[in-house]
Amino acid sequence: MAGEGKRRARRGKRKRHSLNNASPSLQKEEHPSISPPLHSSRPPKRSRVEPSAPKSTASSSFLDKIRGRLSGAHFRMINEKLYTCSGNEALDLFKKDPELFDVYHAGYQEQMSHWPEQPVNIIIKWLKNHSSSMVVADFGCGSATLAKNVKNKVFSIDLVANDPSVIACDMSHTPLDSSSVDVTVFCLSLMGTDFPSYLQEANRVLKPCGWLLIAEVRSRFDPNNGGADPDKFCEAVCKLGYTSVSKDLKNKMFLLFYFKKKEKVAPVKYIEWPELKACLYKRR
């Protein structure tokens, strides 16, 4: 009996050894609890979930859009006011709330970004082709772009000084001395119901034989749509004591007028000025 027990023990030991050395597949068959789950030939359907933008990003984009619309509406309101009031009224408006000037010029720059060519760049080029010793008065200078891009001495004039070099004043009453500058410039700045008074002030500060350069939005000089006749406008300017040297009418967005002041000017008591159509921007 003892021998039989020893033989059984040896058989059990050999069986355990064979199981331990068996292939993994056989081991898994012996232990079904750890075998991998069976898969069907058709994968289970999964519901498609579209990724959504983070709430913070979507909210920020929405707020930016609203701010842009409000800013654009604010610009159009200020722009319309400037074209339909006097220079003195515009000066009072910006004195009460100087931030309106920044709002206006931010909207102005956005509008200008859609123009294929900027009139101020043409005037800069014109000055660079002439003597840098000529003194310039830039009426309605905005951010003083002209002064920053030429070697000339430039008096930058506007209703609000958003740059230390800008002289803030009503453009019909500047602190400049009479016959003190060689070139006067109006680049998209003949705004307001009393624009002729700006030209009269420019005439006062301009030396004999000096230059007057005017760039204006083309629609303001379209007689077929309520604008002024460019020839009649030139006639009125010439009565101040100028000679019309040339007109640049090829640009689709604006016109350029070049006048030279006569050496001797006979005073004219009354000048009939054509009404310049207000430039009102549409909502984009």
Neighbours of 6 (CB within 10 A): 10
Q: Report how far Cα 81 is from the mean position of its chain's Cα atoms.
A: 20
pLDDT at 73: 76
End-to-end CA distance of the chain: 107
CB of 274 closer than 8 Å to CB of 196 = no
pLDDT at 23: 46
pTM: 0.73
Which burial class, exposed, middle or buried, applies to 134 when counting CB atoms under 10 A from its CB (0-12, 13-18, 19+)? middle
In tens digits, what is the pLDDT along the chain, a chain of 284 residues? 545 555 565 555 554 544 455 444 444 444 444 444 444 455 555 555 555 555 555 455 544 443 444 456 777 888 888 888 988 899 898 888 888 888 887 888 888 888 999 999 999 999 999 999 999 999 999 989 999 999 999 999 999 888 889 999 999 999 999 999 999 999 999 998 999 999 999 999 999 999 999 999 999 999 998 899 999 999 999 999 999 999 999 999 999 999 999 998 887 889 999 999 987 766 55
Q: Report, in this order, helix, strand and coil percent for the chain, each rounded to 5.
A: 45, 15, 40
Q: Which CATH architecture has domain 70-261?
A: 3-Layer(aba) Sandwich (3.40)
Domain boundaries, the chain: 70-261
Angle of helix 87-96 relative to helix 99-112, nearest 10 degrees? 110
Which burial class, exposed, middle or buried, applies to 23 when counting CB atoms under 10 A from its CB (0-12, 13-18, 19+)? exposed
Cα dist from 116 to 126, 187, 249, whole Å: 18, 16, 15
The residue type found at 241 is G
> Which distant-in-sequence residues (6+ apart) come within 8 Å of 86 by Cβ?
192, 193, 194
pLDDT at 266: 81
Question: How far is Cα 149 from Cα 281, in angstroms, rounded to an integer?
Answer: 28
CB of 212 closer than 8 Å to CB of 206 = yes
Q: Report how far Cα 72 is from the mean position of its chain's Cα atoms.
A: 11
pLDDT at 111: 83
pLDDT at 122: 97
Question: How far is Cα 185 from Cα 180, in angstroms, rounded to an integer?
Answer: 14
Angle at 237 between CA 233 and CA 238, to 5 degrees: 115
CB of 27 closer than 8 Å to CB of 19 = yes
